[in-house]
Amino acid sequence: MPRFAANIGWMAQEVPMLERFQLVRDLGFAAVECPLLYGHDANAMGDACKAAGLEFLMFNSPPGKHEGEYGIAGLKGRKGEFQDSIGKAIDYAQVLGTRYLHVLAGWQMDDWNRDAAFKVFIDNLTWACPVLAEAGLSALIEPINTVARPGYLVQTTKEAQYVVDTVKAAGSANIGIQYDFHNAQIMEGDLARTFEAHLPSILHVQIAGNPGRTPPDEGEINYPFVFELCDRLGFEGWLGCEYAPHNKTKPGATKASLKWAKDFGLG
């Protein structure tokens, strides 16, 4: 049976961040993830997570110091800032007991050359992975759709696989793919074959309906089939619920979004 984690950046928005841990625990979740958390005190988050009895699975690397940035690992001339940002992420991870760090690659700049940017990204990851390994962390590479993030560097599972393979060939084993079915549907489709083909490298999964990041029982993706597929292929990781409930700040919105999950003991 699939294991589901609540994404408390998207879900549980009806309460302040520190109250989201207990809210999702009360709804049956045993683990959480959060995309960006650097505006919150790590110790306070760690205490709230521990008090709720949750596992904190993953979060994103810092997006960058300039407004509108979504990662700097693929941007030239930012090596020192990137290395500092990994240190900051590790500080949070050690407090939260996190196992994965999604390393944000960044998106198109004025003088962007994608081939050159991939080289920068891989060079930075080749440095970062041994540092993360010492802290007990693995790096995740997520292909992100260019509807939500126009010009994002890593756009397809094939590109993520190339990055993972290249970094592993340089000597680091602690790197894999974060496979988001929502993103993959937009950029690639053919979800079952794509997921199965890259399964050996997939460490973490995320789900949401499409179009929009709606609850997974809405839209064009057949999630009952997806859940059966994950079980049939033996995927042993977590499925992060990275979607926005309707009326997301209204009391009870998260619980109302979990009609699809009752058979899994959630809601």
Residues identified as active-site: 142, 242
Nearest to 56 by CA among 96, 25, 9: 96
Angle between the 191-198 and 157-169 helix axes, to the nearest 10 degrees?
0
Q: Rounded to whole angstroms, how far apart are CA atoms 47 and 28?
A: 19
Nearest to 262 by CA among 220, 216, 230: 216
Helix (H, G, I), strand (E, B) or coil at 45: helix
**How many C-beta atoms lie closer than 10 Å to residue 202's C-beta?**
23
Q: Rounded to whole angstroms, how far apart are CA atoms 234 and 182?
A: 20
Helix (H, G, I), strand (E, B) or coil at 100: strand
Helix (H, G, I), strand (E, B) or coil at 9: coil
Angle between the 157-169 and 114-134 helix axes, to the nearest 10 degrees?
60
Give the dihedral of Cα atoms 166, 232, 260, 257; nearest 10 deg: -20
68 phi-psi bin (left φ>0, alpha ψ -120 to 50, beta other): left
Q: Rounded to whole angstroms, how far apart are CA atoms 227 and 245?
A: 20
